Each structure stands twice: as structure tokens, then as C-alpha cells.
Structure 1
Amino acid sequence: KNSLSPHWVKVFEIDYELGTPSKVAVNIFDEVRKGENKGIGSAVFDIGELLGARGNTKARKLKKGGTLFATVRKSQGSGMLRLQVKGTKLKNVEGMFSKSDPFFELSRKVDAAGSLTWDNVYRSKDIHNNLNPEWETAIISLSTLCGGNLDLPILLSVFDHESSGKHKPMGQLETSVNGLKQAAETRNSLQLQRKGKDVGAITVVKAEANFVDYVSGGCEINVVVAIDFTGSNGDPRKPGTLHYLHPDGRKNDYEKAISAIVGILSKYDSDQKFPVVGFGAKYGGVVRHCFQCGPHEESHGVAGVLDAYKQVFKSGLVMSGPTVFTEVIETAAARAMSSQSEAQRKGQQSYTVLLILTDGAVSDVQATAHSLNQVSHAPLSVVIVGLGDADFSSMQFLDDSSKPGKRDIAQFVQFNRHASNSVALTSETLHEIPEQLTGYFSSNGISPLPPIQ
């Protein structure tokens, strides 16, 4: 804005094949808010010529005056970085009677015509009159930001926005993508400096890859289903109880939840094999808190999960209690660790979601919270769906029970609030999983694999 020497930060990705002519036409306009934009000039760049030029940069004179520069680089690396930062106690450069309007820029170090220089690749929006700004989350291509090299130097610069376009420097710091990730994990602030003096701090709120990048790279999402067979569900032979199987084929609430939630997650699992376990029932007079449902260790597809669920009622179980999750949580965590270890051995990635369907609050909340914290290092998310009309207030505590330094892996959803809308149910149930998955891989320094073609 208000500049005749602009430095645009938008990066365009172009498919290029050696030997095939490829040209890019660039048109420059003066933006007119009320009316048609006015043309300033245009230029055409040949991609092959840019690649052969020193520093991969060429200049074109514009007819109406001025020079346009274009630079091309090979796109390297894959994935996206979700980055959110905030500033603390930034030094005001606006004057005595107003505050600065800070925005930040990210630049990568590049070799331009034989010398290293900083190339601006991202610019945030400015925040008015605020010396403790929290900028919105940015989603930046890792190819653009660092060429796939997570240790490549990155310059984070903060400026005071001026309508004249002559923005005032407020401070800068040098880091890398790995440096940003580490700062997010440790919550350590990064010090801004200007002319050798500290001028405020930057806190990295989040710095992680995008869920879509992991899925596009073939990350398998495995699902383990755990079903509550405690006596509080009622006699399954009586209509109106939660486990009642309708003769006309209508689904009970357990079947509805399985169909909706497993139906979505199954799209990310190539083998469609799902372990189904139960808890809270007696077999041979002994209460079991983790037992296999159905004749097979894994059930195939959603239909197989539903069939395994129904088979339990033909197995001679006696519905009992108490309601205990710890065994199924620990079993799922062990399975998740084993699956990821095996996937890594093959150059792949794996993540597990444990879906617990229950009609009541757990008997020992503290033991359950402890169990969740103990397995928070595993590639695991735990989704708990409460069915029926029980008091689930203590279950909400589990949703917020993670200790400092531990991943939050649990999510609780009450089925009755979304019973008439399966889309709302799955959206509410699964909305934390992308962040939990990326949080696990990011905290372990595991980047997304290249997209599967």
C-alpha cells in the first residue's frame, strides 16, 4: 500500500517440465477502492530463463517506468505448518500518544546471485494499538518457508504498520522451523532484538504440521471400539433399554453411535479391520473389564463391528459392574504403540483412536485420569461417548484432566445432545483428533510423509 517499490510475499507454485516452454505473465495494477483498478505495467518471464539466470532471478523493464524482478526456486519438501505466535511487551515505536500496530513477517535465507539474503515469504495482518498482540493462526507451505529443511534459518521480523507503507521495524529474531516447534513445546519465549537491545518477546503458541498432510502422506488411523456392558444399561431383552436390539432392524443408540463415528474414521483405515472389546460384564462369575467381542480378534468394516457387538448377547455374559475404563485404555495404548512402531519400521505412520461407548460415569475418576496421563505419550486419542440420561458431569472432568507437560488425549461427548443429527455427533466427537494427531507427531519430531500419488 502506498509504495512504488513493493515487495510482495505471495509465492506461486507452477508445474514445470524441462524442455516444455513455460511462461508467466505478470500484470501490475494500482488498486482503486471505488472504481476500476488502473494498469501500471506488465511483463512476461520464461521459467527456463529464470532457472538459468544467476540467483534464478531476472528483471524486466516496464513501459511506463520501473523494473519488475522475478525469482524462481525448485519446490522442495511437503506439508504445511500451522503457526500461531503472540508478542509480549513489545516496545512502542509510534510515539507518546498512541500505540504501534504490529504485524510480523517470515523470511527464509536464500542464495541470490551468489550472496545469501533474506527473502520474505509470509506477512501477517496487523493488530491495531496493541503491544501484546496475538496474531491469528497462519498456514504456511513448508516448501515455501524452508524448502523442506526444518533447520534452515528463518527470520521473524515485527513491524509497526504505517498507512504510508513505510513500516517501522520493531524487532527481529532468527530461528528455524524446528526452533519454532521446540519453542511451542517448551513454552519458552524468543527474544526480539533491535539494534542489539531487547525489545519484547515472541511466544510460539503452536507450530505443527497440518492433519491433512499426515493423512495425505498415508498415515493410517486405526480404531479400537470399547462397549459398556454394565448392568446400568438395563436388561437388553426389554424394549426401551439401551442395548435392546429391535426386531424390525432399527438401531439402538449404541448402534447409531458406532455407525456414525466408525463410519467416518473407517475412511482413513485401508484394511478396515477394527478390534471390538467390551467391559463391565461377568463371564464365569468373574467381572471382566476388557474382553473380546465377537468370534474374531478384529472385525471387518462397520458392519463387522455391529455384528461383533450383537454377538456378545449370545455369549452367556451377565451384565455387571463397576464401570472401569483403565484396562481398555491401557490395552489400546499398547496396541497404538505397537502399530506405530511397526509402521515406522516400514517407513509409514500410524495413529489410533479409542472409541469408548458408555451409559454412565466411571467408578473411579481419579484412576481413569491417571491412566490417561500415563498413556499420553502414545499415538492415541480417546473419545468417550456417553449414552442415556445418566449424570455425566464427572466425565467432563476427564476431558480437562491432562497435567502440565502431558498431551490432552481425551474428549467427552454426550450422545443425547446430538442424537437426531449424526453429522453434528461426528463433528463434535472427532473435532479434537486432528490437533491431537499433529500434536503427537510434532512433539516427537515426525514430519508428514510425501503425499501418496
Structure 2
Amino acid sequence: INQSHLSEIINQRPPALRIETLQVKYHGIFPFGSMRQVRSEFGRTEVIDNTRNPDFVRKFVLDFFFEEKQNLRFDVYNVDSRSCNISKHDFLGQTFCTLGEIIGSTGGRLEKTLSGIPGKKCGAIIFTAEELSNCRDIATMQLCANKLDKKDFFGKSDPFLVFYRSNEDGTFTICHKTEVIKNTLNPVWQPFTIPVRALCNGDYDRTVKVDVYDWDRDGSHDFIGEFTTSYRELSRGQNQFNVYEVRHDTGAVTLLSFKVESEYTFPTSLHYMSPYQMNAYAMALKAVGEIIQDYDSDKLFPAYGFGAKLPPDGKISHAFPLSGDNENPNCVGIEGVLEAYFQSLRTVQLYGPTNFAPVINKVANCAAEITDGSQYFVLLMITDGVISDMVQTKEAVVNAASLPLSIIIVGVGPAEFDAMEELDGDEVRVSSRGRFAERDIVQFVPFRDYIDRSGNQVLSMARLAKDVLAEIPDQLLSFMKSGGVEPRPALSSSPLPELHRHI
């Protein structure tokens, strides 16, 4: 399903009521004749702020079987918080159809009325579907702009770009949005990666339309202008042909760089960033992080990578901040951690060996400064390799066992993780140089055990989070008991002291 678009047919809502955000939830696919159709969530779009007519960027790739009835249900929600629990949000309507209905519609475009709220018209949702080409190339490009139109009364514009692929029926489908660059008429956007089939479906001469907008907080983004190009033009790279005048003489957009690589080589890396789904690293971060972040007051999480050559001199590091700032490794929320992770993949060169001890010692040093029970640290480590410094890692774990710290290790990929099981001291307590760890503080799980066979990421993430976090409360209590830390009495005039958990 290459596009989903929601529109109000008749505005029945009071003008003062603004829908802050909208989200579509896609549900399971079931074979024709199934006696027991147990529905499961397939995926979610991104959230579009402050609009009743969102045009969603996120696409969903489904396998189509002509001989089967593949049932789909679409639920629409007004998202009021960061909670992943869909019951916490306002239900706006739903519709049912089959994948065959969408594909069989004229031009692969199907409009369905939303229902589900008695006595109310809920609007409509539009689906478009297109068969993906066999083109497996990935394009990476960067653009900038100069002398854009000033749209904000008290400042400069906050520009961003929206890319559209033209469809065979002459319509356009949104395929990418850049980030917003605040308060400038001369923005330079970050490089971004997009499958060539998402940009033009393998037709190198197909029109690509680019709109330029000034971002507004209330969602009523100001249109600055537009231009058109094609994959063939873009592939020429930086030259005089790839400087595009934006309509009404409102500046120009310039292509700074453009490169193409074959996607066939990418999926061999577990860090591969698919435009359609998160990789295992991101899924583990999101699954665990979104739960434990609720117990941290400032939502600032230091995030580190280990095993990479860093720019500009290629120095190997086993504990470098994903933010790129040695003075401030903190990321704002788990979304900030994910953003820093994705950005670091573009700037560092992954490199062995896989050393755990440096990161464990770094976090342990922070935990050692606070042993009065007011804070507790959770270190989440995600790795795809065999530990190269097992002796040093064991020593680091034994030393950290007396501190307010728990360590979660998620192994991704097909590697053998026997050594990880040794660190998970459920059966035999970890020891180093004849000294045993005071507490069991390590929980290890192989991510492959949580891959849902139907490809449902949401279920995989939920099962993973449940299992890896199950031991944390007992580990926390064991630290408090071993240190003689008594529970603090409840205070009537102020909230209870919050438990800080850090990644």
C-alpha cells in the first residue's frame, strides 16, 4: 500500500475543536476461509500534526495473493500523547476492505467512508496501491536552498521540502519529507536515503515534484513554491542543471550531492535502514526504551556506540556518544536516541572488535556516584557479535554488581551467543578472578526468539520488552536490600521521589 490519505467529507466538528494529530492503525491479513480470524496489528503510520486532511508518508509493503482474500481493517485515531497504547487515544473511525479491493480499483485508488461512531460522519480514507518494480537501488541525496521567500512576520522562514512521485494516472504520491530548518532563508538539509522505486518506481524519466513549505507550529504550513525534476536529472549530480528556480521568483533549490548504491548489499548489514520497517537495533531500542523512559524525570538519555572508526581521523572507539558531542551525550527521549543512532550510521564506519567493558565501565562510573537509592540505572546494550573482551567484561560486571545498575543485552542477528548466556547469571553467578558478583544484574535475550512469523513488528517489540524488563524490579530490590536502603515515606505535600532509570 503506497499511500493512505484521510479527508473530511463534511465538517461536522465544532470549529473550536482541532484535531491535533492523526494516526492510522493497520490490522492483520487473513486467508480466505479462515475459521478463526484473530486480528493483529500490522503497522502504524507516522503522526501528522494539526490537520484534518493528512497525507501520510509511511508506506506499507504487502505480499498480494490473487487467490486469497486478504482482509484489512484500518483504525484512525487522534493521538494526544506519546503513549503507544492505542486505547489512550481518541478513536475517530474505521473501515474494512480487502487488499484485492484496493488493487482492483480504477487506477489502484480506493476511497472508503469511515464509520464506528454512532450518529457522526467520520470522513473518508483514500488508499492507493502500486506494484513495486524490481529496481533495487538506493539513492542518497542532499539539497540546499537560497533566498527563499520570507513567510514569518517576526522572523525568517522555517523551510522543509516534500517530494512527490507521479503516478500513472497523473496524480502524485508523497514519498519523502525533509527535516525542518528553523529561521533561515538559506537552508542546508541533511542527506537522506530513499529507494529509487519509492522515488520513481524504476521509471527514470517519471516526474518528481518537490514542494517547498514554511513550517508553522499549528500545522498550517505556508506554501513557498515548487519545482519538478526526474531521477535521470538528479542522477547527474551537482551541476548547473540541478539548480531549480522555485516559482514566483522565491529563491532556488540546489542539489548538492547524489549517489546510488545497490540495495542488494545493504540488507546483509543488521544496521540496514529500510524505508518500510525498523531494523532489529531500532526495534529493541524502541521496545525497551519507551517503557523505561516513563520512570525518568528529565527524559535525557546518554547513548553510546561501541566498535566504530570516528571521523575525521578514523580513530577506533568502543564508547563514543551517538550525539557526536563528547561534552553532552544526552538524547531527548527514546525518539532522540533513535535519531542519534540513525545519524551516527551516516557518519561513522562500523569496525570491530566487539568490546563491552568500556561502555559498562563508563555507565558504572556514573552509577557509583549515586548509591543512596535515589537513582537506579538501566544499561541497554544491543550487539550482533561475539564479545571480544570477555575477561574484561566479566570483571566489569562483577564490579558493577554492587552498584544501582542493571544491564540488558539484546543479541541481534544469526551469531552464536553462548558467551552472552554466561553473563546472564540466572544459573551460575558471574565471576572474575575468583570473585563472584554480589547480584545478578545481567539479562540477555536473543532478538531472533522474538521475531513474529507474520512479520508483525508491534507484537515482536511487545514480547521483547516484557521479557527483558521482567527482572528489573527484582534486581532493583536486591540492590536496595543489599545496601540497606529503606523505602522513603510518602509525602503529602509533594510527589514521591522519582526513580531515575538511564540508558
Superposition TM-score, scaled by structure 2 size? 0.40
| Between structures 1 and 2, the one with greater helix share | 1
Query: Per chain length, whose mean CA-contact separation is higher, i.e. which structure has more relative contact order (CA < 8 Å, sep 6+)?
Result: 1
Superposition TM-score, scaled by structure 1 size? 0.44
